[in-house]
Structure 1
Amino acid sequence: MASHPPSKCCIVGVKHEGEAVGTVEKVGGYDAYITYPKDGSSKNAVIIFPDFMGYELINARLIADQLAANGYFTIIPDIWLGDNVPLNWNPSRQFNLGQWMGKHGPDTVMPIAEAAIKAMREDYGVEKLGGVGYCLGAKYVCRFLAEGKGLDVGFIAHPTAVTSEEVRGLGGPLAIAAAETDDLFPAPKRHETEAILKDMDVPYQISLYSDVDHGFAFKADLKDAKVRFATETAFLQAVNLFDHFVKAG
């Protein structure tokens, strides 16, 4: 595998502050958070595959709104069907991550994601589409970045459960934001991923951020200046990627 399976570090973090400006609508028959750029255009777009907390967590919606502010029609499909993992779970809350994973594997998630991408293309007039994936969501960016699967370019942060085969199947540019301390995407896995990408004919970028651990791009403590720098820079990494391969592509 190019990254390890999920563990408890995937479901701890900090809830961010702010108010979302988008709306929840049906996209391809499933709930999704939708937010538009200032000009109302949906030509250039991004789909976000969130981590375990799902599309309802304010962190995900604020990221979507920030992408919209940078000119991208953005949606977050409800890939967990409302069954989001509680943030900062602990055993006393009687939540079993293994059981949850059994209910929300690719067989369940892929049809939801496929329906959202199809609707974005056909119903919203999206011409170029980038994908963002955090933690387990990175797996679906890689899958849909395969040739002809729907995405034109992908950005993933602290990936979880991505297989080597999924990396080898990429058909478009990929950028990766990696944490200095990450048991699920440690240095050996980063190097394995880099070795695969080096032999492929797709543009790629791997950026390593110091002073942060797994989840930093999605649910880090932004009161820490070093962490905030990494989180904000990783977001700009994604925007720069999309500006080159979505807007200009």
Structure 2
Amino acid sequence: MHEPENATKAPESDVEERSAFPGDSTVDQGASLGEHCVTDRPTPAGEAPTGEISKLGNTEVYITKPSDYPHAPSKLLLLLTGGTGIKSVNNQIQADKYAQEGFLVVMPDQFANDPAPNSTDPTYVSQPETPTIIERVKLGVTETAKSFLIDMWLARHTPEKVLPILQDVLEKAKEEFADAVANGGGVYAVGYCFGAKYVLLLGSELKDTVAWGEKVRDEEEGVKTKGPSIKVGAIAHGTMITKEDIEGIKVPISMACVENDQLFPDEVREEGKKALAAGVVEHEVKVYEGVPHGFAVLGDYADGKIVEKQKEAFQQMLGWLKSH
């Protein structure tokens, strides 16, 4: 059986590090998720969340609305985060920015109150620009342990676990915000890092045993497919994405990618683009140079060029949503 080409690899026994951006954290080449997927950058000065955390069904969600809603029509946007989850202030502010542009944003806790290891630590600690040998050894040990914890965490959050949560939230959101769904002609979706894969899956036709956690009820009838569950999607620097994930997409999709991103390799991206073109799926793919994986998630950087690229990626994704 052909093994799908993953955008990530399992950790190796020997940890290889690189400091791609002086002043930022080192990147573990073999990690399943990068540092930027599980640790927040400093929150930009003067920014604070304006939405609130509530519940849709059994799932906690961060909800943020346009200031003139419901007096003015809105569109429903599902925002799926990286490993830092809905309690991340940066993720909340990111959702608010879409709300300021006219979207009613629902950001679900797709991890069932189990965000990635260390993601609840609000303090961002950068690594030395030129670490000593002892510091490099310490960093190596730390990164190896962190990779192990992240892999254990990922094993707890598979499509079989995450998709039923998202489907339930979608159903509840469609009921509560039926006006926004009707106004937009469906549900819009954006995803960052971990969440990007699930935007692709929600935009595909999925076997009901995966998407809904159902068992095959009729052996003769077999497994049914359901979906797509969204109208249009936009993603930034996805992780754990396979060629098959991209090949399955049936809705217009925009992708903000990072050049030479080991968590979303160029070959996976390029094969995916070919599949989208062959399937006549409307798409756009933009590759950003000189930025780290995770750059599109709201957060401050010492390098002003990265901050500008972050804003550019937001405009790319926002523009795609508004044009559909």
State whether TM-score is above 0.5: yes
The aligned residue for residue 75 of structure 2 is 44
What is the deviation of 1:30? 0.7
What is the deviation of 1:19? 1.0
The aligned residue for residue 4 of structure 1 is 8
The aligned residue for residue 55 of structure 1 is 86
Q: Name the aligned partner's letter for residue 65 of structure 1.
A: D
What is the TM-score normalised by the length of structure 1? 0.90
* Partner-residue secondary structure (3-state), 2:98: helix
The aligned residue for residue 80 of structure 1 is 111
The aligned residue for residue 236 of structure 1 is 315
CA contact (8 A) 2:94 2:298 kept: no
* Partner-residue secondary structure (3-state), 1:217: coil
Q: Name the aligned partner's letter for residue 255 of structure 2.
A: I
Q: What's the C-alpha RMSD, in Å, of the aligned pairs?
A: 2.2
What is the deviation of 1:38? 2.0
Q: Verify: 1:129 aligned to 2:187, yes or no.
A: yes
* Partner-residue secondary structure (3-state), 1:212: coil
Moved segments of 4+, more than 6 Å: none
The aligned residue for residue 305 of structure 2 is 226
Instruction: Please say which structure displays the higher CA radius of gyration.
Output: 2
Q: In structure 2, how many angstroms separate the alpha carbons of the residues matched to 1:212 and 1:191?
A: 19
Stretches of structure 1 lacking an aligned partner (at least 5 in a row): none
Q: In structure 1, how many angstroms separate the alpha carbons of the residues matched to 2:57 and 2:283?
A: 30
Q: Verify: 1:33 aligned to 2:62, yes or no.
A: yes
Query: Of residues 92, 95, 100 in structure 2, which corresponds to 1:69?
Result: 100
The aligned residue for residue 155 of structure 2 is 102
What is the deviation of 1:111? 1.3
Change in 2 beyond 3 A, CA 1:232/1:56: same
Q: In structure 1, how many angstroms separate the alpha carbons of the residues matched to 2:7 and 2:279?
A: 18
What is the deviation of 1:189? 2.2
Q: Verify: 1:161 aligned to 2:161, yes or no.
A: no
Q: In structure 1, how many angstroms separate the alpha carbons of the residues matched to 2:63 and 2:34?
A: 29
> Greater strand share, 1 or 2?
1
What is the deviation of 1:164? 2.0
User: Which segment drifts farther, 10-19 or 224-233?
Assistant: 10-19
Stretches of structure 2 lacking an aligned partner (at least 5 in a row): 10-31, 126-138, 206-226
The aligned residue for residue 214 of structure 1 is 293
What is the deviation of 1:27? 1.3
Change in 2 beyond 3 A, CA 1:235/1:205: same
Q: In structure 1, how many angstroms separate the alpha carbons of the residues matched to 2:294 and 2:241?
A: 15
Q: In structure 2, how many angstroms separate the alpha carbons of the residues matched to 1:240 and 1:188?
A: 26
The aligned residue for residue 267 of structure 2 is 188
What is the deviation of 1:43? 4.3
1:110-149 equivalence runs, <5 A: 110-125=163-178, 126-127=181-182, 128-147=186-205, 148-149=227-228
What is the deviation of 1:152? 0.4
Change in 2 beyond 3 A, CA 1:13/1:24: closer
Q: In structure 1, how many angstroms separate the alpha carbons of the residues matched to 2:248 and 2:268?
A: 17
Q: In structure 2, how many angstroms separate the alpha carbons of the residues matched to 1:109 and 1:201?
A: 28
User: Which segment drifts farther, 45-54 or 94-103?
Assistant: 94-103
* Partner-residue secondary structure (3-state), 2:233: strand
Change in 2 beyond 3 A, CA 1:107/1:180: same
Change in 2 beyond 3 A, CA 1:93/1:223: same
CA contact (8 A) 2:202 2:230 kept: yes
What is the TM-score normalised by the length of structure 2? 0.70
Change in 2 beyond 3 A, CA 1:162/1:93: closer
Q: In structure 2, how many angstroms separate the alpha carbons of the residues matched to 1:78 and 1:13?
A: 16
What is the deviation of 1:196? 1.4
Q: In structure 2, how many angstroms separate the alpha carbons of the residues matched to 1:2 and 1:120?
A: 32
The percent of aligned pairs where both chains have the same amino acid is: 28
